[in-house]
Structure 1
Amino acid sequence: MGKLQYQCAMSLDGFIAGPGGDMSWMVAHLGPNPAMDEVMNGTGALLVGRRTFGGDDPYKDTENEGEPYGGGWSGPQFVLTHHAPEAPVPGVTFVGDLAEAVATARAAAGDKYVGVLGADVARQCVEAGELDEIYVLVVPVLLGDGVRLFDHPGGMNVKLERLGLVEAPGATNLRFRVLG
């Protein structure tokens, strides 16, 4: 079964989205990144938080708006939510339970990664002991406010082991194993 890997871009000051979920900051930093291309090719399914699924899109007003990774990836998506839309969305399954969402996404991914998208769903996976890895592109920008990479009120000490560091134009790719 596929490993769960939190996949995101982050500002140097620790935000994956700006205030109100704004992702427009990322547009200036999107570009060729062979290491990230490998991650996308190794991803078999996505486990997405509801706010991420319905939120701001860095590809807004382009032909790739609404497409995971700007159209660079395709496959099954599982959205964790208690409020599924009435109309079905092609290629997307809405799941109300974390354990069920994780199991279904792992099965769909096969031997590939389950890409976890969204800070809240990633936090829930950490708390449940389900998150295996974190893959983060550190982008040279300071946002000052927004959605943090990891936020746990009261704090939580999660030990990580660095598995990789790759420099790319406009970003530093970091990969960690979650130890607990």
Structure 2
Amino acid sequence: MRLSAASAKLLKEEWGNTGALVVGRHLYDMTNAWGGRHPMDVTTVVLTHRPPQDRPVADENFVLVTEGIEAAVAKAQEIAGEKTVVVNGGQMARQCLGAGLLDEIGIELVPVVLGGGTPLFADLGATPAQFDGPTTLVEGTGVTHIRYRVKE
């Protein structure tokens, strides 16, 4: 992966402080479980309603959780210890935001208009979402990294 110096510095710091990830089953399947280990080289908690039959429920690479977003985040926090838990975008981020489980959101703004896709915060329902910041604003080459704190 080719990054500008500014992007590389930010991501090195953030990835170095990441202790576990939370992703949904759709991303897990779409990436074919990243070939067996997530590129960030941390244990990944997968929230699913239907665990795959060909994989163990837990190992050093993946932990499959079926009890809901709160249980998935709690498991990731247990794994991460003092480090940060990162929640992948889309459905997992929406569920965490709705459950009050997000402290911060990160957006990688790239100047490309796709014309379709799923909005990051679609279907929040009655959940109000307010943010402080930006707390971090880093201009890379072809991308702006923006971080906001979630207001309680």
* Matched ranges for 1:1-180 at <5 A: 31-32=2-3, 33-34=7-8, 35-55=10-30, 68=38, 71=39, 73-88=40-55, 91-97=61-67, 98-152=69-123, 154=125, 156-162=127-133, 163-180=135-152
What CA deviation, in whole Å up to 9, does each residue of 1:55-85 have, x standing for no partner?
258xxxxxx76753xx3x1011100011110
Report the residue type matching 2:62 in the other structure: V
Instruction: Kindly indicate which of the two structures has a greater share of residues assigned to strand.
Output: 1
The answer on whether the counterparts of 1:52 and 1:118 sit within 8 Å (CA) in structure 2 is no
d(CA) in 1 for partners of 2:110 and 2:36?
22
Q: TM-score, normalised by structure 2?
A: 0.83
Q: Unmatched 5+ residue regions in structure 2?
A: none
Compute the displacement of 1:157 (Å): 3.0
Compute the displacement of 1:134 (Å): 0.6
What CA deviation, in whole Å up to 9, does each residue of 1:87-106 have, x standing for no partner?
22651111012221111101
d(CA) in 1 for partners of 2:66 and 2:111?
36
d(CA) in 2 for partners of 1:76 and 1:94?
11
d(CA) in 2 for partners of 1:155 and 1:128?
12
The answer on whether the counterparts of 2:48 and 2:64 sit within 8 Å (CA) in structure 1 is yes
d(CA) in 2 for partners of 1:136 and 1:153?
17
Of structures 1 and 2, the one scoring higher in RCO (CA 8 A, sep 6+) is 1
What CA deviation, in whole Å up to 9, does each residue of 1:3-50 have, x standing for no partner?
xxxxxxxxxxxxxxxxxxxxxxxxxxx531221222111111000011
SS in 2 for 1:144: coil
SS in 2 for 1:147: coil
d(CA) in 2 for partners of 1:115 and 1:153?
20
Question: Identity rate of aligned residues, in percent?
Answer: 37
The answer on whether the counterparts of 1:51 and 1:118 sit within 8 Å (CA) in structure 2 is no
Compute the displacement of 1:136 (Å): 1.4
SS in 1 for 2:45: strand
Compute the displacement of 1:108 (Å): 0.8
